Structure 1
Amino acid sequence: MTNSSRDTLPLPDYDHLPLGGLESRVRSLTADEVDALLTYEHSHAHRLPVTEVLSARLEQLRTGAEPTGGDPSALRPEQHGRTTGSPVSPATSSQPFSPPPHGTPDQRGRPKGDRT
């Protein structure tokens, strides 16, 4: 399969899905779609945990399980609503301080230029 076949996989961005995301999203696929992912996985990364998940789901579908509702192209939970940075604001943060270089916390550090 070529890179263009990656674009036709039933799960968008399949190669970057974490195992937990794959396990939940593969449930909405048909047996043919899961088989396509399994074939792609065998010919590319061949990750054992992924092939086990896909094989187990394919077996479930072949023995009568039905695909569940859901949209395989929906936003992944690991991408939705992620913010960066700290939730702490300047108003709620503590006062900056510099601990003393040695000794007890009561001793104030002196700059090196003042030492005699």
Structure 2
Amino acid sequence: MSDAERDGLPLPDYDHLPIGGLESRIRSLGAREVEDLLAYERTHADRVPATEVLTARLDQLRSGADPSGGDPGAVRPEQGRGRTGSPVSPATSPQPFSPPPHGTPDQWGKPKGDRT
């Protein structure tokens, strides 16, 4: 399949889509689009998990299931927009409440007592 044909697939960057994201992304596709992806998969990577997911969805559609809403070109979690969460820095880190039992370079550990 040429680049132009690959660009015509119903899911952008299908070749780089992980199996975990495939099942939810094909929910918005019709039977013809799923058939196109299945044919492409079988002639290229032929990944068993991918063909199983596509075949199962195609069977559902042929049995009367309707495509659900969604955008097959939407931002995918696997293409995250960068780092998330709170930044960690010395300014946001809590102050230690006591030194470890072995001490620190500026504060020696305390002896356990007389062990004679």
Alignment gaps of 5+ in structure 2: 96-101, 106-116
Count, aligned residues:
100
For residues 9 and 81 of structure 2, what CA distance do their matches in structure 1 show? 25
For residues 44 and 3 of structure 2, what CA distance do their matches in structure 1 show? 11
Instruction: Quote the residue 2:5 is aligned against.
Output: 5
Instruction: Quote the residue 1:67 is aligned against.
Output: 67
Question: CA-to-partner distance for each residue in 1:56-79, whole Å, 9 max, x for gaps?
Answer: 000110111110001101110222
CA displacement at 1:94 relative to structure 2: 7.9
For residues 20 and 74 of structure 1, what CA distance do their matches in structure 2 show? 15
For residues 104 and 67 of structure 2, what CA distance do their matches in structure 1 show? 68
For residues 107 and 71 of structure 1, what CA distance do their matches in structure 2 show? 55
CA displacement at 1:4 relative to structure 2: 1.9
SS in 1 for 2:66: coil
TM-score by length of 2: 0.74
For residues 103 and 24 of structure 2, what CA distance do their matches in structure 1 show? 56
Alignment gaps of 5+ in structure 1: 96-104, 109-116
TM-score by length of 1: 0.74
Instruction: Quote the residue 1:52 is aligned against.
Output: 52
For residues 107 and 60 of structure 1, what CA distance do their matches in structure 2 show? 64
For residues 24 and 4 of structure 1, what CA distance do their matches in structure 2 show? 25
* Amino acid in the other structure paired with 2:35: D
Instruction: Quote the residue 1:89 is aligned against.
Output: 89
For residues 93 and 104 of structure 2, what CA distance do their matches in structure 1 show? 24
For residues 52 and 27 of structure 2, what CA distance do their matches in structure 1 show? 14
CA RMSD of aligned residues (A): 2.3
* Amino acid in the other structure paired with 2:31: A
For residues 69 and 92 of structure 1, what CA distance do their matches in structure 2 show? 41
